[in-house]
Each structure stands twice: as C-alpha cells, then as structure tokens.
Structure 1
Amino acid sequence: MDWIAQHGDLVSALTGVGTLIVWIIYLQVFVSSYRRQLRATLLITRGAGDEDDTRCFVSNMSAGPVYVQSVMVTLETEDRKIVSAATDIRDIQDKTQVNSLDRTRQGPLHPGQLKDIGSFRSLMSHGLKETDASPAVVRAVLVEVLGVYGSEDLPVGARRRFILVRSQGGVRIEGDTIETQQIRKRRERRQLVHDLKRDK
C-alpha cells in the first residue's frame, strides 16, 4: 500500500493507458463486426440429388438485399475453358405462356432468400451451344453470380466450382470446395465490371 501511495501518479498513468488499450481493442472489434455486417455474402449450393439435372441455388446471407445482375458459367475441359453468360433462361418450352421475369436469372434477393437458378445441365448448355462442344468433355463447371449490393460502388459476387464425376451409372455433380468463395477484393470486383459488360 505504501508503494502505491508513493507512486500514485505512475499507477494512475498505467491505469489510464490500460483503459485506453481496452477501448481501442473494443473499438476494433466493433468496427470489424460492423464491416462484416455490411459485406455481401452469397451462397451457391447444390439441391437434392447429384446428377446433372440437380438444381443450383443461390442464397443471400447478407444483411440487405442483393440484386442478381448476371450469372456466368465457366466449363472446364481437358484443354480449355469455355466462359459464357447464363443470365437468360433458354430451356423454356413455350415462352409465350411464361412471365418475362421467369425467363431470366436476374432479380432481387432479400436477406435469407433462396433462388433456384436452374439445373446444372441447363447452366452448362449455354457454353456448350456456343461452341458445339460435347457434354462428355466437361470436367468441371464454375458458377459465378454477380450482383449489386446497397451503396457499394463496385459489383459484388461469389463463385463456386463443381466437379463432374462420371461412372457407368451416369454423371455426379460434386462441390470442389465446401464453401462458396466470396469476391471481395477491390481488384477482383473491378474485374466483375468487365464480366458484366460481356453479359449485356
């Protein structure tokens, strides 16, 4: 106690510094949490089943709505990659009987909402029709969803790669990774602008 009384000014200074450090750490945690809430988060998942007619879903796990502006599909073969826009839905039998909103994969996704963007077979058909390639040569498919989120000045996006596993029983669709890759770096998001121009 005598030591504390003799060094009261030092103890007060150390206490003040300690309190300041605690508040700085708290502020960093708060800002980091706030930034995470502002980030757009999209999930690309596979529906029930594992064949090529299995549905592909996009879910919005962001705090606010995301407007899906474009869906890009990259088909990977042994010797090349085929990139194509798959925003428009082509596999519609009678387009005169279908609402115009049902003929596109564009549209708003509210927080927690899930959107069916079609079967993997229909997504792959865009690239296959443009190149006359055979479905048998496709080894993997990369699904990329681009959109607009809040007041962000650049597009947001997410991508996930799926592998096609062939056997005597047919084709299985398997996710190459468990998680959906979020496109958040500004350099990558600037590249999304060029991808959107491709899907005019």
Structure 2
Amino acid sequence: MSWLVDNREIIGLAVQSVTAMVWVVYLQLLLSNFRRERRSKILITRVAGGHEHGHLMVGNMGAEPIFVKAVLADLEVDGQTYHSIANDSGGFAPFTDDDPSRSIKGPLKSADYRDLGRISDLVKIAYDLADIPKSAHQIEAVVVTVLAESSRDGVLVAGRQCFDVYHGRGHMRFFPRNASTLQLRSFRKRRELARRMDEMLAQEAKAFLQGEDGKRPKRGADLGQIGRSEEARAEAEVAR
C-alpha cells in the first residue's frame, strides 16, 4: 500500500493515458464506421444472360442516393484500347418525350437499380462513336465505367466492370472479368474520369457544330420554333 501511495501521481498519469488511448481508439472506430456507411458503392452487372440480348444493370448499394451522369465504354480491339461514351443522344438508351425514365441518366436511391439496356447496344454505340480503324477485326473486351454524383457535396463517384467478349456460333458472349465491381475512389482517378467526360461532351458538341454540310450552325433558335414544337406536341396528344 505504501508503494501505491508513494507512486500515486505516476499511477494516475498512467490510468489517464490508458483512458485517453481507449477513447482515441473508440472515436477512430466510430469515424471509420461513419465513413464506411457514407461511402458510395456502385454495382454493375449483367442480367438476362451473358449473350448479346442480355442487359446491363447498374445499382446503388451505398447508403446515400446518387445521380448517374454518364456511362463510359472502353473497347479493347486487336490489343488496343479505344475510349467512347454511351449517352441518350447516341441512341444507347433511346426514350420518347413522355418516357424519360428510360434514360441512362437519373437519380438512384439506396438499393435502387437502373436498366441500361442491352450490352450489345452499348458495344455498337461505343464502336460507332470511337475512333476505331476500319482495318480492325475483333472486339476482345468492353470496360464499362458508370459515373455518378453523390449527394455529399457533389462528389464524383464511379464503378467499373470489365466484360471479356467471346465469339462463337455467330453470337457474342460477355463474361465479367471480376466477381465484384471495382470502386474508383481515389482523387486522381476521379479527376481523370471527370476530365475525360468533359472531353467526350466537347467532342459531341464539336461533331454537331461541324454539321453534315460542313457549315457551322449559328447559336440561338427562333422563338417561333418553340411555339411550333408546343403545337405539334398538343396535336400528338389529341391524336392519342
């Protein structure tokens, strides 16, 4: 007892240090769990079979909602990689004026999913938009990257899945290279994807501005066209 009394200050400091360490570890666990719960998780998978009629599905398995902004497609052709993008205007997921829910873009709540259309359509649109030489022979793989924006300060999130393409008996088969979707969370990778998406959108605008006749369209539209568009839409509603 006399030893405890003589060293009570040292023992008190030791107890306080141990208590502080326990609290630090506890707070670290709470912070890690909080960050893990808020971390986005995008699922990319095939449904309805792995053939060309199979569909591509994207799901939000994170705790917070996201907004799908674009689908990037990288085609591996004859050992070379060609970049492309799938969008509504390209025809990958066409929708009518009264059915915009078929767009590849849009919000996804937690545990919600969206049908992106047939995988073969994705490959076709990506092939048409990519700068692939006519001498190319076979598509060996397609890498699908879904870009989305989270509700947490507009942070860009992304998921990636690679499908190996096999040809046989006049059909294409798509087999996922990995069992799970790769989550792209590093700042460098997300900045690279954001820059690439901006470049793709700029190329799309440039292709439109060039025009089929070689003339550059003028900026702006006649206000009368807006009225005519509304009249045509009203006539279509009456015809139904």
| TM-score, length of structure 1 as denominator length | 0.87
The aligned counterpart of 1:137 is: 138
Q: Is 1:24–2:59 an aligned residue pair?
A: no
Alignment of 1:103-118 (within 5 A): 104-118=103-117
CA displacement, residues 135-171 of structure 1 (integer Å, 9 cap, x when unaligned):
9611111001111111335421111111113344843
Number of residue pairs aligned between Structure 1 and Structure 2: 198
Q: Tell me the distance in 2 between the aligned counterparts of 1:38 and 1:24.
A: 21
Superposed CA deviations along residues 67-115 of structure 1, whole A, max 9, x for unmatched, are 001011111112322221112162679x65862442x200000111011
Q: Match for residue 69 of structure 2?
A: 69
Mapping for residues 102-181 of structure 1, pairs under 5 Å:
102=102, 104-130=103-129, 131=132, 137-168=138-169, 170-181=171-182
Unpaired stretches in structure 1, ≥5 consecutive residues: none
Does structure 2 retain, via aligned residues, the 8 Å contact 1:59–1:115?
Answer: yes
Question: Hey, what's the Cα distance between the residues in 2 that align with 1:98 and 1:161?
Answer: 33
> Which fold has the larger relative contact order, with Cα–Cα distance below 8 Å and residues 6 or more apart in sequence?
1
State the alpha-carbon separation in 1 of the partners of residues 86 and 186 from structure 2: 24
C-alpha change, 1:64 and 1:132, in structure 2 (3 Å) is: same
Hey, what does 2:229 align to over in structure 1? none
RMSD: 2.5
Would the aligned equivalents of 2:66 and 2:150 in 1 still touch at CA under 8 Å? yes
Mapped pair 1:185 → 2:168: no
Q: Percent identity?
A: 28
How far apart, CA to CA, are the structure 2 residues paired with 1:171 and 1:136? 14
User: Structure 2, unaligned stretches of length 5 or more?
Assistant: 202-240
Residue range with higher mean Cα deviation, 12-21 or 131-140? 131-140
Larger radius of gyration: 2
